Structures are given as C-alpha cells and as structure tokens.
Amino acid sequence: MTHVLPPFGSVAGEAARGLLVVLAFWAIVIAAEVWHRRAHPPIEWTRKLVHVSGGLLACAFPWLFASPGTLLLVAAVAGAPVFVARARGGLNSVFGVERHSFGDVYFPIAIFALYTIGRSMRVFYVVALLTMVVSDALAAVLGRAYGKHRYRVTHEQRSLEGSAVFLFTTFLLVHLPLLLFTGLERVTCVLVATQIALLVASFEAIGTNGSDNLFVPLGAYYLLMKLTARPPEAIAVQLAVQLAILLLTLLVARRTRFFSFSGAIAAHLMLYAAFSLGGPPWIVAPALALSAAIVLEQRRVARMRHAASADHDVAVIFYVSVVAVLLIFADNTFATMVRGAARIGGGHPFLAPYVGSLAAAIAIVAYLGLEASPRVRHRPAAWRALASGVIGFGVVAPLGLWAPRSGDVGIEYASSALLCAASLLLFLALRSRFPRPPGTGWSLRYLALAVLAATLATLPIHFRWIGAADWTLR
C-alpha cells in the first residue's frame, strides 16, 4: 500500500488514507445493519461487530496518519451519518439496545485521545486499544451467554464470569506484545500484564453507561507508561499490595455488608491509587474515612433496627472520593512537572487538601446521620454542623496528616480544617437553595460538588501559606 498511496504525512497521503478509513468504517456499519435485518442475530452481536472491527481499524492509525487533525476530520466525516441515524432512531444493529449507554460516544473520544498522546509509542497504543476492543467484546458475549453469578453496578447487571474473561484476555493482550515487540525482561512482562489486567478489569467492572470505553484504553496506556519504567521488584510489590487491598475490601464488604461487590471494587481502586501514586502513608486517610463511614452506617442501621442492605455501590464511592482521587493525581503530576517540587509543601503540596476533602466527606455523611437521628434532630442545625465537622476532621485529619509528615504541620492542619468547614457550609447552602426529595441521590451529588468547590476556593490560600507562588514547569 505504501507504494500505491501518496507519501505518508503529505497532504495527498493524509487525504487518501483518510478516505480509505471512512469507506472501511461505513462498510463495517452497513455490513452490521444488513446482517441485523436479514438474519436477526442478537443486537449485542452486531454491536460488537462494529465495536471490534472499528477498533481493529483504529489500531492502524499510527501507521496511516501523521496528524491528529487528520484523524479528527476523518472521525467527523465517518461519524456524522452514524450520529444522525442515532438521533433519528435508526441503525438498530448498533443502537437498538435496551440499556442506556454512551459507549458509542466515549469510544471514538478514547481513540482520538489515545492517538494524540500515544501515536509515537505504537506498541503501547495498540495494546491499550486492544484491551477495550477484544477483551470487552469477549467479556460481553461470553458473560451474557454463560454468566451465572451476577452483581449490580448502579442500574446495570454484570457477571463474574464476564469479568474473569476480561481479566484473562487482557493479560494475554498485554503480555504477548510486550514479550514479542519490546526489550522488556520476561518477568517484567508477566508482572506488568498481571497488574494491568487486574486494574483495567476493575475499571471495566465498575464502568457504567459505557464509560469503560473511555477509561479502560486510556487507563491501560497510562499504566503501560508508568509500569514499564519500573524494575520488576517494584512492580511485584505494587501487585502484592493491590491484591491485599482487594481481598481486604471484599472481606470488609462481606462482613459488614456496607457496600456491594462493585462498591468494594471501587473502594479498592481508590485505596490503591492512594498507595501507588501518593505513597504508603497516603492510604491512612482514606482507610480512616472508610472505617468512619462503616461505623456511622452501622449506628444508623442499629438505630433503625433493620439489616444492612449492602447498597453502597460504585456511585457512592465515586461521589465521596472523586475529589480526593483528583488531588492524588494532581500531587503525582506536580512532582514530575514542577522544578524544585521537593521544596514546596514537603514535596506534596496537595496532601492537606487531599486529607481535608476526605474529612469533609465524612463530616457531611455524619451531618446526614445526625439529621436523621431522633435523639439529636431537634438540635439546631449549627450544633449538628459543628458536631459533624468535629467528627469528620477529628477522625481523618490527625493521623491522615501525621503519617506522611510532608510539610509544616500547623499549615497542613489549618488548610485541611478550612477545606472541611467550607465544604460543610457549601453543602448546607446547596441543600437549602436547591432542595431535592430524599432518597434521590442528590445528597451525594451535593456532597461531591460542595467538596470540589471548597477545594478550588481554598487551594490558592493553601498555596500561599506553603509558599508555592513561584512554580516553574520543567
């Protein structure tokens, strides 16, 4: 093909290859629609035909296109008729599923983002894409056909058998290319493949509304970049810690019935992110927050005299910890992109906001518990707010900040306390200004929004206190 088409990277070459990709994608969609109308197979099969064929076509993009701009134009031309059909209720071979999914939107976004950041690392690009293209398709088809052990992810149902297929397939898709096309040691290839398979299988297990189509390939690429640069001994330690955290959260879920299976998977990912990206001491604060949440829930259950229902699923974990996870990534990125990072905030300027965000979440959970308690609901709102603030900050912050000991202790405590108080006040203001019926999930949304807004508002103050005004990017 290279002798027939114009040179790679030229305007004519980009146009010719773009036209071929558009025609190939349309042929895939038309073939799926014809198959659907003539043979009437399950819609999941025709969807996966488009998903897998389109994904395999996308694997060739680094060899076809030299510019992300070309790919963006090709995606617009190829996708426009498909999205028009989606809006008009057509293409039942792709969109005729009962469940509500945006996977067909997330997947092209993931491909474009992956190409933009990873086209120069072609092996990693292909491996990351295949984890979504092949593993997801096999897990969906085999899980639907043979899945007997079901678990709930918000309003969706998954099977342990499908997740196991995803895990095993991803291991092979990562291990074999690394072994055959890179210079990594064999033991490193095995360890990297095992860890990535476990992590992205966890992402896939808790993804809802097709969001796994976005997070799985991008997460796989990120992990490939991070893990392949480490010695095998370090990867083995990370893998052992992740397995220990996973087993512990599953055991806690079984013993306490605090969260569902998907909630346990989400909690283990949050705890492992704290350990892996922040460092071992960073796991103290979320562990304390989780313990406090379990105790508060058990007291609520005992007060209401009914059995625990294990209804804390991935959505609950997400809303409670999303800001903390963002701050973990911010701190990890700061250490690699800012000159003299070790001199600012003890090298971890986001530690205090991170601990404060978790303390704030527990304070808000405690407030909701006090509000529902017959013994204290008659007390003024200011009293309940003060008591819940003391609970959240007192349980999470002292040990959560003491364990890492990264900077000025007084400043760290003051910043965390400020964020905790601001979050609680913003939460109460949101509920007062925009009341919603109880039991609709809005309290969790307000919790996440209040903690996020308070974090953004207090970060400049915190940075000024720790002397981080003159950052310089590397």
CA 155 – CA 32 distance, rounded (Å): 28
306 and 341 share one domain:
yes
Residue 53, number of CB atoms within 10 A of its CB: 18
Torsion angle of the four alpha carbons 205, 154, 311, 160, in this order, in degrees rounded to the nearest 10: -30
Contact assessment for residue 145 and residue 252, using Cβ atoms and an 8 Å cutoff: no
- Please check whether residue 341 lies inside any domain of the structure: yes
191 and 290 share one domain:
no
The residue whose two tokens read 């790679």 is 8
215 and 301 share one domain:
no
290 and 166 share one domain:
no
Tell me the two tokens of residue 139.
Answer: 């897990």
CA 100 – CA 267 distance, rounded (Å): 25
Q: What is the pLDDT of residue 196?
A: 96
- Please check whether residue 236 lies inside any domain of the structure: no
Q: In sequence order, which residues have a C-beta less than 8 Å from that of residue 410 and are 6 or more positions away?
A: none
Alpha-carbon radius of gyration of the chain: 24
355 and 432 share one domain:
yes
Nearest to 448 by CA among 369, 361, 329: 361
Among 230, 258, 276, residue at a domain's last position: 230
Where on the phi/psi map is residue 467: left (φ > 0), alpha (ψ -120 to 50), or beta?
A: left
160 and 261 share one domain:
no
Q: What is the pLDDT of residue 473?
A: 44
- Please check whether residue 353 lies inside any domain of the structure: yes
- Please check whether residue 465 lies inside any domain of the structure: yes
318 and 399 share one domain:
yes
207 and 267 share one domain:
no
- Please check whether residue 105 lies inside any domain of the structure: no
452 and 316 share one domain:
yes
Alpha carbon 393 to chain centroid, angstroms = 26
DSSP 88: T
336 and 461 share one domain:
yes
Among 66, 98, 130, residue at a domain's last position: 98
Write out the DSSP string of 395-426.
HHHHHHHHTT--S-HHHHHHHHHHHHHHHHHH
343 and 453 share one domain:
yes
Residue 152, number of CB atoms within 10 A of its CB: 16
Quick one: angle between helices 351-372 and 381-402, nearest 10?
A: 140
- Please check whether residue 417 lies inside any domain of the structure: yes
Among 98, 127, 160, residue at a domain's last position: 98
- Please check whether residue 108 lies inside any domain of the structure: no
Nearest to 324 by CA among 153, 233, 452: 452
CA 170 – CA 196 distance, rounded (Å): 8
Which residue range forms the structural domain that includes residue 402? 249-474
Count of domains observed in the chain: 3
65 and 129 share one domain:
no
* Distance, first Cα to last Cα, the chain: 41
Q: What is the pLDDT of residue 285?
A: 96
**pLDDT averages per 10-residue partition of the chain, 474 residues:** 74 90 90 83 79 91 92 88 72 61 79 92 95 88 83 80 93 95 94 96 84 88 92 95 95 84 91 92 95 83 56 82 94 68 67 96 92 82 92 95 81 95 96 80 91 96 80 48
- Please check whether residue 17 lies inside any domain of the structure: yes
DSSP 121: S
